[in-house]
């Protein structure tokens, strides 16, 4: 018998390692029968105190498992505050969820409107089927119009303040962004500028990602491309301005063994953005302990008299092996780097 050639074995192992994330997120897919019941349940999660680590200037104030009998529930990848004490989340399956988070009073919201799970964008394709938009980011403008970033599309969607109609806003620069690399994160800064971040654009050597900066709303101004340095291996999934004008960026990466998502919270100062060189950031926190981690994709920063609240919402990818989780953090602004 001749000597064994280890090359095929190594190739096989490499393929298995590469398939682990795919197997993890597909083996757990669950079949869901159609149900449009408008109900939402929160189950409190209390992590052991010795596992609440890595949060830096943030304090954990709440963690809940969210569930609903509604077959449209899940896949939440963007979220905004709508001014009534409620949040509005959007999914990668073109759904929207209106809900009141635990501990938040919404006395002006009728009981029948406390929860609402509906289609987000109504657009007919040829025939009778509805179009499906993979919504990844959302911003409410000062005029209360809602802007949505969509995967694999070179357009943003603008919904009028009265929610009666919407329009596509073409962004030619998005044509150069790769498939599955759309505007994963979008925000309006306190100075009126708008920003988009690409999840998978750019060479990403040392954590480099690409973005677009608009001096005004995207339908009234032209973007300036820029590069941004994030922690190596992490991709941007959402961002929101802090009260001092700086930017909080939610990042994510998939670890292989065992398969799980890690999240990070990163600080960036828009005053230091220079399109000619990579924009430097500072990581503030890492969410990677078993009791707290999930695939967090949506974020809302809410300014209060006790300091900013940071709410994170996860996307369970339609998998029985993952959960929809809502996390509430409190940020101590005095502990941020200067």
**Residue range 71-94, pLDDT digits in tens:** 999 999 999 999 888 999 999 999
User: What's 41-335's CATH class?
Assistant: mainly beta
In the predicted model, what is the mean pLDDT of residues 26-33? 51
What mean pLDDT, rounded, does the chain reach? 88
Query: What are the C-alpha distances in Å from 72 to residues 34, 36, 99?
Result: 8, 7, 14
pLDDT at 12 over 80: no
In the predicted model, what is the mean pLDDT of residues 268-275? 97
**How far apart, in whole angstroms, are the C-alpha atoms of residue 14 and residue 267?**
35
**How far apart, in whole angstroms, are the C-alpha atoms of residue 204 and residue 208?**
4
Least confident span in 30-39, 54-63, 252-261: 30-39
pLDDT at 31 over 70: no
- The predicted structure's pLDDT at residue 36: 80
- The predicted structure's pLDDT at residue 125: 65
pLDDT at 223 over 50: yes
pLDDT at 27 over 90: no
Percent of the chain with pLDDT over 90: 69
Q: Report which secondary-structure segment, H or E, holds 25.
A: helix 7-27
Least confident span in 87-96, 194-203, 229-238: 194-203
Cβ-contact 318, 54 below 8 angstroms: no
Burial string for 262-273 (b: 16+ CB within 10 Å, else e) reads: bbbbbbbbbeeb
- The predicted structure's pLDDT at residue 201: 78
């Amino acid at each position: 018998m001749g000597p064994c050639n280890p090359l095929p074995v190594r190739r096989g192992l490499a393929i298995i390692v590469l398939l682990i994330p795919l197997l993890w997120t597909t083996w757990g897919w669950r079949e869901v029968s159609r149900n449009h019941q408008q109900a939402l349940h929160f189950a409190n999660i209390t992590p052991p105190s010795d596992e609440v680590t890595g949060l830096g200037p943030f304090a954990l104030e709440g963690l809940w498992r969210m569930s609903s009998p509604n077959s449209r529930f899940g896949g939440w990848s963007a979220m905004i505050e709508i001014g009534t004490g409620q949040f509005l989340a959007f999914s990668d399956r073109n759904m929207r969820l209106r809900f009141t988070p635990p501990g938040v009073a919404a006395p002006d919201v009728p009981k029948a409107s406390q929860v609402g799970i509906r289609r987000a964008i109504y657009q007919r394709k040829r025939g009778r089927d509805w179009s499906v938009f993979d919504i990844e980011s959302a911003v409410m403008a000062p005029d209360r119009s809602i802007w949505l970033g969509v995967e694999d599309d070179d357009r943003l969607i603008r919904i009028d303040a009265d929610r009666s109609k919407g329009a596509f806003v073409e962004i030619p620069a998005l044509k150069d962004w790769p498939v599955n690399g759309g505007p994963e994160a979008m925000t309006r800064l306190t100075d009126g500028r708008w920003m988009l971040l690409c999840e998978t654009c750019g060479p990403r050597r040392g954590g480099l990602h690409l973005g677009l900066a608009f001096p005004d709303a995207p339908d009234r101004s032209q973007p300036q491309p820029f590069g941004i340095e994030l922690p190596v291996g992490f991709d941007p999934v959402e961002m929101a301005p802090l009260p001092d004008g700086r930017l909080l960026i939610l990042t994510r990466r998939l670890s292989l063994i065992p398969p799980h998502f890690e999240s990070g919270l990163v600080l960036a100062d828009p005053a230091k953005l220079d399109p000619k060189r990579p924009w430097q950031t500072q990581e503030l926190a890492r969410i990677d302990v078993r009791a707290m981690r999930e695939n967090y994709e949506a974020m809302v920063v809410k300014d209060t008299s006790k300091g900013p609240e940071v709410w994170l919402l996860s996307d369970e990818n339609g998998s029985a092996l993952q959960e929809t989780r809502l996390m509430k953090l409190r940020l101590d602004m005095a502990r941020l780097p200067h």
